[in-house]
Amino acid sequence: MFGYVRVSSRDQNEDRQMLAMAEIGIPPDHIYVDKISGRNFDRPAYKKLLTIIHEEDLLYIKSIDRLGRDYKEILEQWSMLTKVKEVDICVIDMPLLDTRNGKDLMGTFISDLVLQILSFVAENERQMIKQRQAEGIMAARARGVKFGRPEMPLPENFAEVYGRWASGQISGIKAAGELHMPPATFRYKVKKIGSASKTNMTL
């Protein structure tokens, strides 16, 4: 008996999934946890689980979207686990998706049908969430809300060092070193100052 837990980032908490596994009685050393971004779906714990789990083992997951990041991947992983490795799967949040029940043709058909429907619903929900987030960001930007980390204030000696650089007394690398910032950051600050000066002249 094994459990697989996945959260999409290190900032998210896996406690809810872990609690469900504990209530079933899965030993802690049989629970595999991945904290993986949706952009980078290389899942080391899941890959390790696949090397250990074998025919007639039972795998618990809290919900079907823990198996993959989209509809296609969920179906692929389900098929690989149940048909290739011949592992039983139980989806805690959806008792209908328990391959131990209905091993006959009709039971398998119903289970596969429910899986496809729920996988589609899960992906559609994710897409709607992304769309709402994008719309919210656009609306916030329209109101003047700025995203990202605020820029660090310029060092107190920036004007003096900048003046010496602008007059050719020191190089850009030397100037960046005196300001304790990477050369690329110094170039960015210089470019920004130049853009601001042109804007003021235009005004």
Largest CA distance in the chain: 84
* Cβ–Cβ under 8 Å, residues 111 and 88: no
Active-site residue identified among 8, 79, 111, 195: 8
CA neighbor of 8 nearest in space, from 157, 171, 126 = 126
What is the enclosing helix (H) or strand (E) of 73?
A: helix 71-79
Active site residue 8: yes
Burial code (b: 16+ CB inside 10 Å, e: under 16) for 109-144 equals eebbeebeebbeebbeebeeeeeeeeeeeeeeeeee
**Catalytic machinery residues:** 8
